């Protein structure tokens, strides 16, 4: 136990007694000092945005056509939500009613009454589904279109930003100097500790 404490104290004193010259840390000289045209968009993240979104919005802010396209897509998403909300509220209320009615019918002890009411619930539900088929078919089309629009929009943003991340990577090539220096310092300290008796 004394040897471990002595080794720890020695290691700390070796580290603290070094010259007061600035040491290379891992961050120092990690990259060549180069800036790319997209460097700023990587620094200006908004809290809830993704990296792709940050780069994409930085890219399109000076492109009027892309800004208009983006506004149109966002507006369509918002309008889709509003358009479907009213219909889905009414449809969900009816579905919830039939589900609850079916659940309550199961608690009826009299078998004949139970079977009769279950038939009535099913008949009413089927009749409502038939009546609403035109609506639910259109909702399915809108939902499918919205899903396709989302997929295409995400793919479009990624395709637009892939060249930008590649430019950023090329403008910030990582070097091994700091890592090599740090590994050398670690190895020296490891050797010192191994040789302590």
d(CA 80, CA 195): 72
Residues 133-177: tens digit of each pLDDT = 999 999 999 999 999 999 999 999 999 999 999 999 999 888 898
Does residue 56 sit within a domain? yes
Distance (Å, whole) CA 55 – CA 68: 17
- Does any domain span residue 149? yes
- Strand, coil or helix: what is 13? helix
Per-residue confidence (pLDDT) for residue 14, from 0 to 100? 40
Residue 52 contacts residue 157 (beta carbons within 8 Å): yes
Q: Which domain holds residue 116?
A: 34-177
pLDDT-derived band at 49 (thresholds 50, 70, 90) equals low
pLDDT at residue 67, rounded to an integer: 94
Query: Over 50: is that where the pLDDT of 129 sits?
Result: yes
What pLDDT score does 3 carry? 44
Whether 43 shows a pLDDT value over 90: the answer reads no
Q: Is the confidence at residue 11, as pLDDT, over 70?
A: no
pLDDT 10s digits, 66-84: 999 999 999 999 999 998 9
How many angstroms separate the Cα of 180 from the Cα of each of 33, 155, 183?
19, 39, 5
Query: Is 158 a domain residue?
Result: yes
Query: For residue 77, is it within any domain?
Result: yes
Beta bridge partners of 174: 31
Please tell me the total count of domains within the chain: 1
Q: Stretch 14-20: mean pLDDT, rounded?
A: 42
Residue 100: pLDDT band (50, 70, 90) is: very high
Its pTM surpasses 0.75: no
Within a domain: 4: no
pLDDT at 157: 94
Whether residue 17 lies inside any domain: the answer is no
Structural domain contains residue 127: yes
Q: Per-residue confidence at 19, pLDDT binned at 50, 70, 90?
A: very low
Cβ-contact 38, 55 below 8 angstroms: yes
Q: What is the largest CA-CA distance in the chain?
A: 95
Q: Is residue 10 part of a domain?
A: no
């Amino acid at each position: 136990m004394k040897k471990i404490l002595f080794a720890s104290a020695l290691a700390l004193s070796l580290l603290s007694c070094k010259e007061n010259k600035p040491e290379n840390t891992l961050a120092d000289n990690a990259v060549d000092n180069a800036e790319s045209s997209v460097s700023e968009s990587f620094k200006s993240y908004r809290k809830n945005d993704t990296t792709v979104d940050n780069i994409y919005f930085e890219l399109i802010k000076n492109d009027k056509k892309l800004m208009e396209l983006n506004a149109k897509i966002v507006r369509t998403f918002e309008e889709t939500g509003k358009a479907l909300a009213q219909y889905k509220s009414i449809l969900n209320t009816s579905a919830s009613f039939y589900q609850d009615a079916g659940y309550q019918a199961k608690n009826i002890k009299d078998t004949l009454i139970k079977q009769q009411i279950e038939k009535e619930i099913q008949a009413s539900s089927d009749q409502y589904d038939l009546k609403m088929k035109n609506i639910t078919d259109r909702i399915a089309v809108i939902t499918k279109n919205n899903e396709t629009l989302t997929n295409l929009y995400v793919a479009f943003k990624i395709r637009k930003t892939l060249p930008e991340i590649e430019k950023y990577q090329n403008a910030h090539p990582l070097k091994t100097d700091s890592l090599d220096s740090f590994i050398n310092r670690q190895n020296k300290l490891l050797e010192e500790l191994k040789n302590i008796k």
